[in-house]
């Protein structure tokens, strides 16, 4: 980014911080399309990308007094866009209709190379989360997910109660979720991994 662009952004952010609506409009016009394209690349839905983009700029307006003109406004903006997109995907994963719509559209409008690289990253992160489990929880988790065994079969093989297996699996999933949530605050990763396991 050129010094001139940084200088213009610096001045606009200074004015925005003071509540100048014209400065906000200028920043909106300048970055709205880029933010929209970025959000759409993450959630693969034009309709929802438009809504998330609006939320991004609403947050900018609401947080205007905390802006730091000396820092990159564009980086700040795209961080909000990423977080809002991830929050949307978490919400989508919990809402059946929204989940079907969003993840169906993600599956038909994807970039194979990007998906492959992300898949490698997610699998690696997933394995790190599993490796953090206690040996017993890890074994039960792997027997269930990797070997496809039922709780009854696991209980019989390990010589423990079926309810113990159920409790250990619940705790394992909780531990994995906590690991992923703490991993740089990447909530989208959490959604992806939980869809895989």
pLDDT tens digit sequence for 111-120: 554 454 455 5
First-to-last C-alpha distance (Å) of the chain: 41
Angle subtended at Cα 52 by Cα 48 and Cα 54, rounded to the nearest 5 degrees: 115
- What is the tens place of the pLDDT at every residue in 16-45? 998 889 989 999 999 999 999 988 888 877
CB atoms within 10 A of CB 159: 6
CB atoms within 10 A of CB 142: 15
Asked if residue 14 has pLDDT above 60, the reply is yes
Structure tokens at 63: 């947080």
Give the per-residue pLDDT at 190. 44
- Rounded Cα gap, residues 50 and 126, in angstroms: 31
- What is the tens place of the pLDDT at every residue in 152-186? 999 999 999 999 999 998 888 878 777 766 554 44
Angle subtended at Cα 48 by Cα 17 and Cα 109, rounded to the nearest 5 degrees: 125
Asked if residue 108 has pLDDT above 60, the reply is no
- What is the tens place of the pLDDT at every residue in 62-82? 989 999 888 888 888 988 998
Q: Decide which of 78 and 88 is more confident.
A: 78
The mean of the pLDDT values for the chain is 77
Q: Model's pTM, two decimal places? A: 0.50
Q: Using alpha carbons, list the distances in angstroms from residue 134 to 71, 131, 137, 139.
A: 43, 8, 5, 9
Banded model confidence at residue 132, pLDDT cuts 50, 70, 90: confident
Coil, strand or helix at 111: coil
Helix axes 112-131, 162-182, angle to 10 degrees: 120
- Rounded Cα gap, residues 139 and 129, in angstroms: 13
Structure tokens at 112: 């194979």
Structure tokens at 189: 């990763």
Asked if residue 107 has pLDDT above 50, the reply is no
- Rounded Cα gap, residues 69 and 77, in angstroms: 13
Q: Are 154 and 165 in contact (CB under 8 A)?
A: yes
């Amino acid at each position: 980014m050129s010094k001139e662009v940084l200088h213009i952004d610096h001045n606009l952010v200074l004015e925005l911080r003071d509540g100048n609506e014209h400065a906000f409009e200028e920043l909106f016009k300048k970055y709205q399309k880029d933010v929209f394209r970025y959000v759409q690349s993450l959630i693969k839905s034009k309709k929802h990308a438009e809504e998330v983009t609006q939320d991004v700029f609403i947050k900018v307006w609401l947080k205007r007094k905390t802006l730091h003109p000396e820092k990159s406004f564009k980086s700040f903006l795209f961080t909000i866009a990423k977080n809002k997109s991830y929050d949307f995907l978490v919400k989508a994963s919990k809402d059946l209709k929204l989940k079907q719509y969003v993840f169906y559209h993600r599956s038909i409008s994807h970039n194979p190379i990007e998906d492959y690289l992300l898949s490698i990253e997610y699998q690696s992160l997933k394995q790190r989360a599993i490796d953090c489990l206690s040996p017993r929880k890890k074994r039960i988790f792997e027997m269930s997910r990797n070997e496809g065994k039922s709780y009854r079969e696991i209980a019989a093989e390990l010589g423990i109660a079926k309810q113990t297996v159920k409790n250990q699996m619940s705790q394992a999933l909780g531990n994995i979720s906590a690991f992923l949530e703490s991993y740089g605050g990447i909530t989208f990763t959490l959604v992806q991994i939980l869809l895989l396991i």
